[in-house]
Amino acid sequence: MEVIICSTDGEVGEKAAATVANKVRQAQASGRKAVIGVATGSSPLSTYTALQQLIDRGELDLSQAYAFALDEYVGLPAGHPESYCEVIRKTVTEPLNMIPAQVNVPNGNAEKLDQAGADYEKAIAAAGGVDIQILGIGSNGHIGFNEPISSLSSRTRVVKLTEQTRQDNARFFDSLDDVPGYALTQGLGTILDARACVLVAQGAGKAAAVKALVEGPVSAMCPASVLQWHENATIVVDEAAAANLELADYYRAQASH
């Protein structure tokens, strides 16, 4: 695991985008269309902005790439502005100039959600697997919507959201009651299958989760800690999110080499 500590959100975005761009170029150099895993929420927005800047400068091309979102709420009507389908369209597909038909989001309105989960796994595999997975982290340590005690080898499936997560996400809705109770999410096993992962976290509200992710035991109580098993995981945080890290100086020294 590599930990990069940044002084601003803009720098978090730039470092994460550089990691993404690197993996995309590697895939393209080997003659494949790159496959990126994308997250929603506030955390990756600066990464998407930095990716857009790379594209604008002609240093990155995602126009042929595939994307797979981590998750989707269950039961939000199609076109709802907070459905992840819409959020991904606005924050990823359009600004990064991607082909809409190549950008995938789990179908949270499928009649058979189990089947939709299995189909999503097949679609990721058919695209060649994810080259680089962008992740945020919940204040309770979730990645995707894999809430505490998710199986460390789980696959795409329906999960019940914790009250903590519903409260954290209430800021996107008119009221807490409007936040859906369930989501269809890639599993931890699905995420681990990505060739590389980059997780971004900003702000003091993430400090405890980042500490557990990086320096805690691998435990289903902090689902993100499963990234300790991944051979190519980069964690990019700001100073506030890094505040509880015991070995912060060591990570800084490593990063400067």
Q: Which residues bind ligand F6R (CB under 6 A)?
A: 39-43, 70-71, 136-138, 142-145
Contact 91, 45 (CB under 8 A): yes
Q: Whose Cβ is closer to ligand F6R: residue 62's or residue 200's? A: 200
Q: Which of 147, 168, 193, 238 is catalytic?
A: 147
Q: Whose Cβ is closer to ligand F6R: residue 137's or residue 194's? A: 137
State which amino acid sits at residue 28. Q
Does the annotation mark 109 as catalytic? no
- Cα of first residue to Cα of last residue in the chain, in angstroms, is 15
Burial class (CB in 10 A: 0-12, 13-18, 19+), 200: buried
Does the annotation mark 140 as catalytic? yes
Does the annotation mark 80 as catalytic? no
Provide the strand spans (E) within 23-156. 35-38, 66-69, 71-73, 103-104, 132-135
**What strands lie across the sheet with 182-185, from one edge to the other?**
71-73, 182-185, 157-160
Q: Whose Cβ is closer to ligand F6R: residue 82's or residue 215's? A: 82
Nearest approach, Cβ of residue 40 and ligand F6R (Å): 4
State which amino acid sits at residue 182. Y
Q: Which of 142, 168, 230, 238 is catalytic?
A: 142
Cα distance between residue 160 and residue 183, in whole Å:
7
- Please spell the DSSP secondary structure of 15-40, one letter per residue: HHHHHHHHHHHHHHHTTPPPEEEE--
Q: Whose Cβ is closer to ligand F6R: residue 211's or residue 253's? A: 211
Phi first, then psi: what are they for 2, rounded to 5°? -115, 135
Does the annotation mark 86 as catalytic? no
Nearest approach, Cβ of residue 256 and ligand F6R (Å): 27
Q: How large is the angle between the packed helices 9-29 and 45-56, nearest 10 degrees?
A: 60
Nearest approach, Cβ of residue 29 and ligand F6R (Å): 28
Cα distance between residue 129 and residue 115, in whole Å:
19
Cα distance between residue 170 and residue 24, in whole Å:
34
Q: Whose Cβ is closer to ligand F6R: residue 70's or residue 113's? A: 70
* Residues designated catalytic: 71, 140, 142, 147
